[in-house]
Homo-oligomer: A and B are copies of this chain.
């Protein structure tokens, strides 16, 4: 059967055989055809240093296959076993505070630990040898929700090696990190420590004396975990050359640069746990981001709750119809699978109150189960018509982990300006106005787009400025905002007017900027309309650009807040103030209208 995969995480190892019977019967009733199994089975499949035991996993896989279900098989390395931590303390992490952890939780492995790398890879190898040929296994699920960070001495060594490869010489490194500042010149690689509460950070992970070090550590940690993923994938490929391999991303997740990971996944997948009921735009952005990771290729919705989460302080219930609505939203954005966490609620531990398709009492007559079953029927009826579909977009939204990191670890101008807030504001406007759009990284080709929106593009690397200029030059529109074009790839300020290499495209210059508490509002007038702006107010000095909006308050009243520059056959737009939602929508509307890219209901927003 070729259709959207439907099912979810199934931790059958937690249950005795009679429960399995009940489960598969209920799966049948709910049109469940896809089960993710083995996500946390390392302790089960390797109960001791030299002991591998696949008995239970064999049964789970065999049973699912026998029932005609498809299996997304996890390598189970998202949490290591207790014996491993006891025998090899190196596998546990050291946290940002410098505290060496002992055994506990999940996501608990040091990515640089040779022991962890060897044994997790060996587990993937053995699983692939055993199950790689099983036709029920349609995908590999490596690890789980990679993330967090480690600051141990093994990671320090790994970081130094990563830096040697990146910079070659200490001279280059000192220049990149601007270490003449505060007497920080490094004269030996071993002097470099992971940036943490014990070294450069004066208040939490975002407050660093040296953003250059911190930025590189973020990059290194993302790469170190990517190496873990790649280790396991390579081991799988030794015996299973074709079954696609993925890992579950977490949407708008800061610690991992998914753009750098994406080439190594055969398809992307992600876990959708919005904080509340009022997140349709934010979910749309995340779907678009994930789809954009693989050039628009369909992805899997790997996890969502059918009802409630458990880890939040307050865990609201999804109202009737909400799960269905959000599932269809995923499909409409490119999902080829709609999966739940989880199929059956665990009895104990920290997720016992997390929602599940089947609750503790094993009932089929609950509202939640009925809605799951109803959606299952709908997806079955749909069949394969949406599989592999593409979104034809003429609008691109740039999303850049480096800019995210650099912006938020900077001292000044304002900690209140958050990258995601800016991006979601511009995305929401595009979404509200009905534009088809792709969310892409800063190295993706821009040739197919008429409109490129790059909110808070703090860091401008490589040939990006040229490529953005080319979009405008050939008649397109480029829209960017305050705090764009500030730093190079090492987070050093451009020694030119702000906005650095974007200045020519935008036809402006910014010498100074004001940051204020949220209670302070400066109105911005555009034609007959006035919008509020908050938090950041750049004083935009036109150098050829036309002034579109002007501040109405304070000593810079009457000066430019929004500009549009003619560049070639197109436009370079700049929004220098933290406009409110209506203001952002107004600007975006002007841009889309010029290219005829407003959606069918542009006045709904």
Contact = CB atoms under 8 A, between A and B. Distances in A.
Contacts of A82: 184-188, 191-192
B11 A43 contact: no
Contacts of A309: 412
Nearest to A41: B183
Contacts of A554: 319
A314 B359 contact: no
Given A79-B183, A105-B182, A512-B366, A198 B100 contact: yes
A361 interface: yes
Interface in A341-369: 345-354, 359-363, 366-368
Contacts of A262: none
A411 B103 contact: no
Nearest to A361: B497
A351 B413 contact: no
Nearest to A45: B183
A279 interface: no
A321 to B, nearest CB: 9
Interface stretch (A25-33, A158-166, A209-217, A469-477): A209-217
A352 B492 contact: yes
Contact of A511 (B85, B367, B555): B367
**In the complex, which of the residues A43, A188, A345, A555 has the most CB atoms of chain B within 10 Å of its own CB atom?**
A43
A309 to B, nearest CB: 7
Interface string A44-75: 10011000000000000000000000000000
A526 interface: no
A347 B180 CA distance: 11
A497 B360 CA distance: 7
**In the complex, which of the residues A184, A200, A359 has the most CB atoms of chain B within 10 Å of its own CB atom?**
A184
Given A187-B47, A353-B411, A412-B354, A181 B316 contact: no
Contacts of A555: 319-320
A177 B184 CA distance: 42
A413 B198 contact: no
B183 A40 contact: yes
A263 interface: no
A104 B40 contact: no
A211 B349 contact: yes
Interface residues of A, number: 114
A145 to B, nearest CB: 12
Copy number of this protein in the oligomer?
Answer: 3
Interface in A554-573: 554-555
Given A178-B347, A350-B210, A492-B352, A512 B317 contact: yes
Contacts of A193: 102-104
Interface stretch (A237-245, A290-298, A434-442, A513-521): A513-521
Interface in A96-141: 97-106
B178 A313 contact: no
A178 to B, nearest CB: 3
A179 B308 CA distance: 22
Contact of A79 (B98, B182, B316): B182
21 contacts: A11-B181, A14-B180, A47-B185, A79-B182, A81-B185, A82-B187, A101-B198, A104-B209, A105-B209, A179-B349, A210-B350, A308-B515, A310-B413, A347-B493, A348-B490, A348-B491, A352-B410, A354-B411, A359-B511, A360-B498, A367-B511
Interface of A: 11, 13-14, 40-44, 47-48, 76, 79-83, 85-86, 97-106, 177-188, 190-193, 195, 197-202, 208-212, 307-317, 319-320, 345-354, 359-363, 366-368, 410-416, 487, 490-498, 511-517, 535, 554-555
